[in-house]
Amino acid sequence: MKKGWECLETKEVFKAGDGKTVYIELYQDRVRTPKGNVLTYTKYHASDVVIVVPFIDRQTLLMIRQFRYPIGKVLLEFPAGHVENKEDPLDTAKRELEEETGYRARKVEYVYSYHPAVSRTRQSVHIFRATDLARASATKHDGGEQISMRKVTVKQLRQLITKRKVENAGTLIAYLLCCTMKTSSGRRR
Amino acid sequence: MKKGWECLETKEVFKAGDGKTVYIELYQDRVRTPKGNVLTYTKYHASDVVIVVPFIDRQTLLMIRQFRYPIGKVLLEFPAGHVENKEDPLDTAKRELEEETGYRARKVEYVYSYHPAVSRTRQSVHIFRATDLARASATKHDGGEQISMRKVTVKQLRQLITKRKVENAGTLIAYLLCCTMKTSSGRRR
């Protein structure tokens, strides 16, 4: 039995972006499974995302509180943003950290990549660890962004998660990978 | 300054589902931010998801390997599925565990809820821990599903994550919450 599915036809049904970032491109594919079933599969494409975990020191993290329109709430998160056009995700990480917090990092290391919604998209999220921070400039927020900065200790963040107060998937994963585990060193795949 | 954004108009632009599950409903909203900017925001709605972390014993997990069409790869994951209609997520957890693995759990506990894609959707993912498992029935897979079962020790899963081999966001978070932390006991919000 073949492992993959055969794409018989793909049709773009919607597209939203701003020239630099693909917010969402929706597709309907007609696919044949290895068992011979033919079905319609809805998938989307969106620009990759980076998340930056900025350490002020070994015990203190720089986080942001941000209003999230689809949820209608302010959430506690790590700085994050879309990879623009052909930008190197490492550069995205540096840019987003500075735009959202006003801090520049002398050291930014790749940590992990994962897929946020495996049943709908091949979009990836790349996590970076930022250390050796220095105050660099005023923050630059997009028209829609409402962001405020918070210093949070690793212990406080752990307690917030224990109380189920951290609701952003990327922030949960970034905490796990940067504050509780050691991943192998290496470059982004 | 008001914290929230005002929705001036919402327009559904696409809808896919099967009557039991909303795969994706895409909306374009015209919104006014507290600073007075008016912008178009693309968001989507999809049925909530449950993830089940099934413990065969304290050190051994029941996982699945599943072909994921948007990514074109077989991924190692915890059993998961959509909450159908007005189903209680606890019942979804029991149903999906049995359908995907053939095991029934005598004890299923709520662990955590999070938002997988905060910039696009208010969809939630609910994590449950299943223990006291017993072989119940043959697996029931949907037409499109290609699933095989694996027994994986907590230590093996940790090693796979250390080597960046686990790419599914929900599985990463579920590992964190069920194998490395204690969350407060309680009911789903």
Q: What digits encode the pLDDT tens for the residues A17-39? A: 999 999 999 999 999 999 899 99
- The three-class DSSP label of residue A179 is helix
Would the pLDDT of B101 be above 50? Answer: yes
Which among B26, B69, B118 has the least Cβ separation from residue A14?
B26
Q: Distance between CA B111 and CA B170 in Å, rounded?
A: 13
Q: Distance between CA B11 and CA A5 in Å, rounded?
A: 33
Which residues in A lie closer than 8 A to residue B180 (C-beta atoms)? 176, 180
Is residue B89 within a helix (H) or strand (E), and if so which, with residue range?
helix B89-101
State the pairing for strand pair A22-32/A125-135. unpaired
Q: What is the CA radius of gyration of chain A?
A: 19
Beta-carbon contacts below 8 Å between A and B: 186
Which residues in B lie closer than 8 A to residue A167 (C-beta atoms)? 113-115, 118
Would the pLDDT of A147 be above 90? Answer: no
Q: Distance between CA B50 and CA A101 in Å, rounded?
A: 34
Indicate if the alpha-carbon torsion angle B166, B170, B173, B174 is positive or negative: negative
The DSSP code for A137 is S
Question: Identity (one letter) of the amino acid at B73?
Answer: K
Would the pLDDT of B2 be above 60? Answer: no
Residues 6 or more apart in contact with residue B51 via CB below 8 angstroms: B78, B79, B80, B125, B126, B127, B128, B170, B171, B173, B174
* Contact (CB<8Å) A113/B164: yes
Q: What is the CA radius of gyration of chain B?
A: 19
- The alpha carbon of residue B14 and the mean position of all alpha carbons in its chain are separated, in whole angstroms, by 22
Of all residues in chain A, the one with the smallest CA distance to B172 is A173
Q: Distance between CA A93 and CA A81 in Å, rounded?
A: 8
Would the pLDDT of A79 be above 60? Answer: yes
Residues 6 or more apart in contact with residue A86 via CB below 8 angstroms: none
Which residues in A lie closer than 8 A to residue B143 (C-beta atoms)? 33, 35, 37, 39
The whole-angstrom distance between B84's CA and the closest CA on chain A is: 16
Domain ranges of chain B: 6-45, 49-180
What per-residue confidence (pLDDT) applies to A185? 59
Q: Which CATH class is domain B49-180?
A: alpha beta
Comparing A140 with A92, the larger pLDDT belongs to A92
For the beta carbon of residue A146, count every other beta carbon within 10 angstroms.
18
- Upper half-sphere CA count for residue B160 (Cβ side, 13 Å): 17
Which residues in B lie closer than 8 A to residue A119 (C-beta atoms)? 68, 70
* Contact (CB<8Å) A143/B34: no
Of all residues in chain B, the one with the smallest CA distance to A43 is B70
- Upper half-sphere CA count for residue B162 (Cβ side, 13 Å): 10
Most A CBs within 10 A among B118, B162, B171, B180, hence the mutation to make, goes to B118
* Contact (CB<8Å) B172/A114: yes
For the beta carbon of residue A151, count every other beta carbon within 10 angstroms.
10
B133-179 residue pLDDT tens? 999 877 667 666 678 899 999 999 999 999 999 999 999 999 999 99
Six-digit token string for A136: 């660099």
Indicate if the alpha-carbon torsion angle B97, B100, B103, B104 is positive or negative: positive
Which among A74, A77, A119 has the least Cβ separation from residue B68?
A119
What per-residue confidence (pLDDT) applies to A4? 84
Is residue A173 within a helix (H) or strand (E), and if so which, with residue range?
helix A169-175
Most B CBs within 10 A among A164, A166, A168, A178, hence the mutation to make, goes to A164
User: What are φ and ψ of residue A92, in 5° steps?
Assistant: -60, -45
What per-residue confidence (pLDDT) applies to B111? 97
* Contact (CB<8Å) B71/A24: no
Q: Distance between CA B55 and CA A67 in Å, rounded?
A: 37
* Contact (CB<8Å) B14/A13: yes
A99-145 residue pLDDT tens? 999 999 999 999 999 999 999 999 999 999 999 999 987 766 766 66
What per-residue confidence (pLDDT) applies to B137? 75
What per-residue confidence (pLDDT) applies to B136? 86
Q: Distance between CA B156 and CA B180 in Å, rounded?
A: 14
Tokens 């686990």 sit on residue: B166
The whole-angstrom distance between A33's CA and the closest CA on chain B is: 7
* Contact (CB<8Å) B122/A163: no
* Contact (CB<8Å) B181/A189: no
* Contact (CB<8Å) A68/B118: yes
Which residues in A lie closer than 8 A to residue B165 (C-beta atoms)? none
The whole-angstrom distance between A183's CA and the closest CA on chain B is: 4
Mean pLDDT of all residues in A72-88: 96
Would the pLDDT of A2 be above 90? Answer: no
The model's confidence at residue A181, banded by pLDDT at 50, 70 and 90, is confident
- Output the average pLDDT for chain B: 92
Give yes or no for a contact between B48 and B82, defined as CB atoms under 8 angstroms apart.
Answer: yes
Q: Distance between CA A149 and CA A166 in Å, rounded?
A: 16
Which residues in A lie closer than 8 A to residue B40 (C-beta atoms)? 16
Q: Distance between CA A31 and CA A37 in Å, rounded?
A: 8
- Upper half-sphere CA count for residue B34 (Cβ side, 13 Å): 10
Question: Identity (one letter) of the amino acid at A151?
Answer: K
